Amino acid sequence: MPALKLRRALPRPTRRRVVAGAAVVVLVAALVTWAALPERRSWTATDQRLTVLSGPSGTEPVALDTRFYLPKDRDGRVPAVLLAHGFGGTKDSVSGDAESLADRGYAVLTWTARGFGASGGEIHLDSPDHEVKDAQRLLDWLAARPEVRTDAAGDPRVGVVGGSYGGALALLLAGQDPRVDAIVPLITWNDLGRAFFPQSADGVTAPGVFKKSWAGLFFGSGSSSPLERDRPAVPGDPACGRFAADVCAAYLKMATTGTPDAATTALLRRSSPATVLDRIKAPTLLVQGAVDTLFPLSEADANARGIARTGTPVRVAWFTGGHDGGEGPQTDRDRTKFLTATWLDHYVKGDGGAPANSFTYSRVTGFSALDRGLVANGYSDPDYPGLGGTGRTEVTVAGPAQPVANPPNGNPGGLSSLPGVGGQLSSLLGGVAGDLPGQHAEFDSAPVTDAIDVVGAPSVRLRVASPTGSATVFVKLYDVDPNGTATLSGGLIAPVRLTGLPRDITAAQPVTVTLPGIVRRIDSGHTVRVVVATSDQAFLTPADPAVYTVAVEPAVTLPTVVGTPIANPQVVWRYVLLGVLAAIALGLAAVLLLRRRRETPPVAEFADTPLVVRGLRKAYADGFVAVEQVDFRVERGQVVGLLGPNGAGKTTTLRVLMGLTMPTSGDALVFGRPLVPGAPILSRVGALVEGPGFLPHLSGYQNLRAYWQATGRPLEDAHFDEALEIAGLGDSVHRRTKNYSHGMRQRLAIAQAMLGLPELLVLDEPTDGLDPPQIAEMRRVLRRYATDGRAVLVSSHLLAEVEQTCTHAVVVNKGRIVAAGPVDDIVGESPSVQLSVSDVTTAATVLEGLNVRSVQQDGKSGLIVDMNGTPREEVVASLVRAGVGVDRVVPRRRLEDAFLALVGDNSRGSGDR
């Protein structure tokens, strides 16, 4: 009522301006919303096995399971991306990233690394002679593709992207092959030996402490293949599984002794990017996680410094995920994808300016109800400060020297991290519950007066005495809130192995311990706590029991960075989106109020007919005619297939039907009313035209609910149960649609079109992206749907599916209807027959001499013959005269034959828009 009173109070010119303004708001809102929705798949993907030659001699064949993505709409050759997966993954592990890059116009080649999935070969841990050479041969393959842009013969324009195992491969490949134009290694290592034997005490030459939990998972996943249960067992040593013999021997050695011998050290060094950093000329974006007990920030720091020394452009990004923290909050995931895309666009595609800042980092700052998760704010600095930060804050801790016991064989052991969940474990344990009594010492500061933004690697000075002359300890930095809850940032600890120690702590010399890099705000009123423990379940500790004495020097150094905040585009977008939705609602309300007064009455004779198309014509300003003359009906109870070769006018016809474009002449009536944008009659129509579109950060179910709520109709009218049954997504309906495959999005879109059980359902290529069982189910769904007086119009290029699904068909060719009616009637005009003969070869030769259009073998003794008007008697007589026995001659009733007869040799029209 208020809106109606406002309208009446305004003078007529003012009302026109209000309506025009509302129309503009609706148009702008629609464009913005359309831009935010995923587009229809803009690429094709081809799976194939490629056999490449690698190994030390370059002659050892290995079959790699690959997938090649190509943008459909490409203007000439396009740049390429070689996309590698992580350890234990396959090409399917990176399909989402591959699709996103293909959407941006890149040809993307993914593959399953040797030793994993369906690829052959053994795991050599990113060996330059094996995995790296495999990738070089894939570069050769890309260079030979006619769709891929090249810089020279055999040199593709290519970027290399990969995470963890794939990230190290990107670095090693760029160091070994100068054809690589840019790389984006994520959460990967610099020195594999240091990663598995870290030593955090500066200037100490003792071997590092063996990271047994991660090493066991890392190596065990390749030997026992827990992630590849469907692959046949590998013959040979069951302890080695898919690993090459030298890699297996190295692991068994270090897992048994806890120290690497010379051969193990050499093998781990061989697989380390540290050996090739001085040869990397490809601009490098290094993305590393601050919640990563496997490859902490120090690994990316070492890579960055080594590459930058050669003058190669380097950018470093730290985010709040990692091997223990996953992809981090949604804000971080979006930021990482944005950085990757802009890096590749500039250095590979040649679009856009160079990134302005060399360092970005993020930290968790709160909780988002919209995301149902944490939010991480981003910050930038024009120069990469390394782990030392751009500033330093010293905090004083206090506490006497304390005795700590090393348990025999590390049992019982403290618990600071577990592979894959280290970043979350501290909060789950509740403070220092993971540090066992008698096995750790604590040194606390006073509450800090000002908040400290720690960005980098803190350091402490440690003194240790031991009756055995050696000790292994673990140093940790906790943030303790006023309630006493202690948090170990990222589950990160500093392992230290010391030798040559005195028995008396007063004689012990201090050593500097550099803790892992972190990004954390220590708020005002919080306390800094340093803990020194003797055991940790993630590491191998000395077997003999002993009691050490530990002391910490008072000053703890905390590196700081004052970064420039980066706006979270998603947060801004959501507020804009809420405003847009409000504007849409207001605009539609104004438009519908006016439309209600001037809506034209229905055409009485068609008031009960779901769809009538009359004299439809669509021509463009440049003279192109997409639809010349189209007339047809869809009656209740019918499933009507709209068929035609490419460019015949099918899509244009559907666009006109749904009000997405206006016809030059003619019209479409739904239950007697014109089908125009905003018409109330649209509430009786469900449609899937031009591909599915969903809000990516909502689940499938939330998208369906949001769509239905936007219609303003009661929830009980939606029939969600029926729609979800149609979707057949199971528990996946509660996952975010951004993680859906194309087929999953297609099924959800069909369910959305059927919400409310509309009386007319219009579907454009509904089986696109569905597998055969899903297609068969869709066939049954559509036939059931047309019962109870409903009707379906379906456009499809799968003639066999139309024949089995549709009751009626409309065949369009060159913008005109060439046939319409029941499918059985159209198929009855098929010109083909099926023959069963005694000698297929002789029969084919005889028939090819007659005036038939085609002859195809059908099984061992059958032939399918397109008669082309040749009398059946003449065919049989010719075969008998040639001595060929004819057992059976039956008409071959197929829609495909009828279709070809109707459109002739025209496989494409003059183009569709």
Q: Residue 406's beta-bridge partner residues?
A: 546
Q: How far is Cα 893 from Cα 799, in angstroms, rounded to an integer?
A: 13
Please enumerate in sequence order all residues whose Cβ is within 8 A of that of 304, keeping only pairs 6 or more positions apart, or say none.
284, 286, 314, 316, 384, 386
In what order do the strands lie in the sheet containing 862-866? 854-857, 862-866, 832-837, 886-892
Please enumerate in sequence order all residues whose Cβ is within 8 A of that of 230, keeping only pairs 6 or more positions apart, or say none.
none
> Reduced to 3 states, what is the DSSP secondary structure of residue 757?
coil
* Tens digit of each residue's pLDDT (9 = 90 or more) over 822-836: 877 776 655 677 778
3-state SS of 415-477 is CCCCCCCHHHHHHHHCCCCCCCCCCEEEEEECCCCCCEEEEECCEEEEEEECCCCEEEEEEEE
Phi and psi dihedrals of 877, rounded to 5? -60, -40
| Pair 318, 297: CB distance under 8 Å | yes
* CA nearest to 526, candidates 453, 450, 460: 450
Q: How far is Cα 553 from Cα 400, in angstroms, rounded to an integer?
A: 10
Q: How far is Cα 332 from Cα 88, in angstroms, rounded to an integer?
A: 24
User: Is 831-892 in the same CATH topology as 603-822?
Assistant: no
Q: Which residues of the chain fall short of a pLDDT of 50?
A: 1-39, 224-234, 368-373, 423-433, 569-598, 906-913
Residue range 603-822 forms a domain whose CATH class is alpha beta
* Farthest CA pair distance, the chain: 114
Distances in Å between the Cα of 517 and the Cα atoms of 296, 320, 444, 512 are 7, 12, 20, 15
CATH topology assigned to domain 390-561? Jelly Rolls (2.60.120)
In the DSSP assignment, the letter for residue 599 is P
Please enumerate in sequence order all residues whose Cβ is within 8 A of that of 348, keeping only pairs 6 or more positions apart, or say none.
79, 81, 106, 157, 158, 159, 181, 182
Q: How far is Cα 266 from Cα 260, in angstroms, rounded to an integer?
A: 9
So what's the pLDDT on residue 892?
Answer: 62
* Tens digit of each residue's pLDDT (9 = 90 or more) over 675-684: 766 667 777 8
In 10 A of CB 394, how many CB atoms? 9
* CA nearest to 71, candidates 37, 45, 109: 45
Pick the CATH number of 42-180 from 3.40.605.10, 3.65.10.10, 3.30.420.10, 3.40.50.1820: 3.40.50.1820
Cis bond upstream, residue 226 (ω within 30): no
DSSP code per residue over 162-200? EETHHHHHHHHHHHH-TT--EEEEES--S-HHHHHS---
So what's the pLDDT on residue 756?
Answer: 86
* CA nearest to 395, candidates 513, 525, 555: 555
So what's the pLDDT on residue 273?
Answer: 97
Q: How far is Cα 312 from Cα 769, in angstroms, rounded to an integer?
A: 43
So what's the pLDDT on residue 450?
Answer: 93
- Considering the entire predicted model, what is its pTM? 0.62
Give residue limits of the domains in the chain: 1-37+569-598, 42-180, 211-257, 390-561, 603-822, 831-892
Calculate the CA 199 to chain-centre distance. Answer: 36
Residue type at position 861: S
Q: How far is Cα 257 from Cα 408, in angstroms, rounded to an integer?
A: 16
What end-to-end distance do the CA atoms of the chain give, in Å? 43
So what's the pLDDT on residue 530?
Answer: 96
In sequence order, which ranges of 37-164 are alpha helices (DSSP H)? Answer: 95-103, 131-144
Q: How far is Cα 827 from Cα 816, in angstroms, rounded to an integer?
A: 19
So what's the pLDDT on residue 26?
Answer: 32
| Pair 497, 536: CB distance under 8 Å | no
Reported as type and span, the H/E element at residue 343 is: helix 330-344
Task: Give CB contacts under 8 A, 24+ apart, made by 589-594.
Answer: 589/3, 590/3, 590/7, 590/18, 590/19, 590/22, 591/19, 591/22, 591/23, 591/26, 591/678, 592/678, 592/680, 593/3, 593/4, 593/7, 594/19
Q: How far is Cα 627 from Cα 904, in angstroms, rounded to an integer?
A: 19
In 10 A of CB 368, how many CB atoms? 18
So what's the pLDDT on residue 591?
Answer: 46
> Reduced to 3 states, what is the DSSP secondary structure of residue 362?
strand
Relative to beta strand 665-670, strand 611-619 is antiparallel
* CA nearest to 433, candidates 533, 364, 500: 533
* CA nearest to 866, candidates 898, 836, 906, 838: 898
CA angle 886, 890, 894 (to 5 degrees): 135
So what's the pLDDT on residue 635?
Answer: 92
So what's the pLDDT on residue 594?
Answer: 44
In 10 A of CB 545, how many CB atoms? 12
Instruction: Go through 129-145 and write b for each residue having 16 or more CB atoms within 10 A of its CB, e for each that does not.
Output: ebbbbbbbbbbebbbeb
Phi and psi dihedrals of 756, rounded to 5? 80, 0
Sort 226 into a burial class: Cβ within 10 Å, 0-12 / 13-18 / 19+. exposed
Q: How far is Cα 95 from Cα 84, in angstroms, rounded to an integer?
A: 10
Instruction: Go through 582-609 and write b for each residue having 16 or more CB atoms within 10 A of its CB, e for each that does not.
Output: ebbeebbebbeeeeeeeeeebbeebeeb
Q: How far is Cα 187 from Cα 294, in angstroms, rounded to an integer?
A: 9
> Reduced to 3 states, what is the DSSP secondary structure of residue 352?
coil
> Reduced to 3 states, what is the DSSP secondary structure of residue 246?
helix
> Reduced to 3 states, what is the DSSP secondary structure of residue 257?
helix
Q: How far is Cα 81 from Cα 603, in angstroms, rounded to an integer?
A: 57
Sort 500 into a burial class: Cβ within 10 Å, 0-12 / 13-18 / 19+. exposed
Structure tokens at 724: 């979800």
CA angle 343, 347, 348 (to 5 degrees): 105
Phi and psi dihedrals of 16, rounded to 5? -60, -40
Residue range 831-892 forms a domain whose CATH class is alpha beta
Q: How far is Cα 238 from Cα 663, in angstroms, rounded to an integer?
A: 69
So what's the pLDDT on residue 842?
Answer: 87
Phi and psi dihedrals of 630, rounded to 5? -130, 125
682 CB-side CA count, 13 A: 14
R_g (Cα) of the chain, nearest Å: 34
Q: How far is Cα 642 from Cα 656, in angstroms, rounded to an integer?
A: 14
Please enumerate in sequence order all residues whose Cβ is within 8 A of that of 18, keeping only pairs 6 or more positions apart, or say none.
7, 10, 590
Torsion, Cα of 583, 584, 589, 594 (10° steps): 100
Q: How far is Cα 293 from Cα 513, in angstroms, rounded to an integer?
A: 17
Q: How far is Cα 62 from Cα 117, in angstroms, rounded to an integer?
A: 13
> Reduced to 3 states, what is the DSSP secondary structure of residue 363?
strand
